[in-house]
Amino acid sequence: MTNLRPNIYVADPQAIKTVAMQKERYAKDVEYVDQFIGCYGQSLLMVEGEVWRRHRKETQRAFNERNIRLVWSETEDIMRRLFKIWDSPGGKEVRIDNVSDMTETLGLLVISRAGFGRRISWDLTDDKIPEGHQMSFSHTLRAVSKNMIIRALIPTWAKNLTKTTRDVTTAFSEFGLYLTNMVTLGRKSSEIAESQLSNEPQVTLAPGSLLDLLLSANENARNGGKGLDASEVAGNIFLFLFAGHETTAHALSFCLGLLALYPEVQREVYMQIEEVIRLHGKLDYSNLNDIRLVECVLWESMRLYPVIKVSHVGRIATKDSVISVARNGPGASENLREDFFIPKGANIWLSITAVHYNPTYWPEPEKFRPKRFMEPYNKDAFLAFSTGSRSCIGRRFAEIECIAALALLIERYEIRIDEDKFPSVPGESTFVSFPFYLQVL
CA distance 359 to 328: 10
Question: Is the C-alpha dihedral spanning 169, 173, 174, 176 positive or negative?
Answer: positive
Cα 244 to chain centroid distance, Å, stands at 3
CA distance 377 to 371: 11
User: At 282, is the secondary structure helix, strand, or coil?
Assistant: coil
C-beta of residue 230 within 8 angstroms of C-beta of residue 40: no
Pairing of strands 436-440, 413-417: antiparallel
CA distance 105 to 48: 33
Closest C-alpha to 220, from 229, 212, 211: 229
CB-side neighbour CA atoms (13 Å) of 110? 35
CA distance 181 to 178: 5
| Ranges assigned E (strand) in 223-329 | 315-317, 321-326
DSSP 126-170: GS---TT-SS-HHHHHHHHHHSHHHHHHS-GGGTTTSHHHHHHHH
Cα 130 to chain centroid distance, Å, stands at 28
Please work out, in degrees rounded to the nearest 5, the angle formed at the alpha carbon of residue 56 by the alpha carbons of 344 and 23: 15
Binding residues, as ranges, are: 392
C-beta of residue 342 within 8 angstroms of C-beta of residue 325: no
CA distance 122 to 140: 15
Which H/E stretch holds residue 293?
A: helix 292-304
Q: Which amino acid is at 57?
A: K
Binding residues for heme, as ranges, are: 392
CA distance 244 to 279: 33
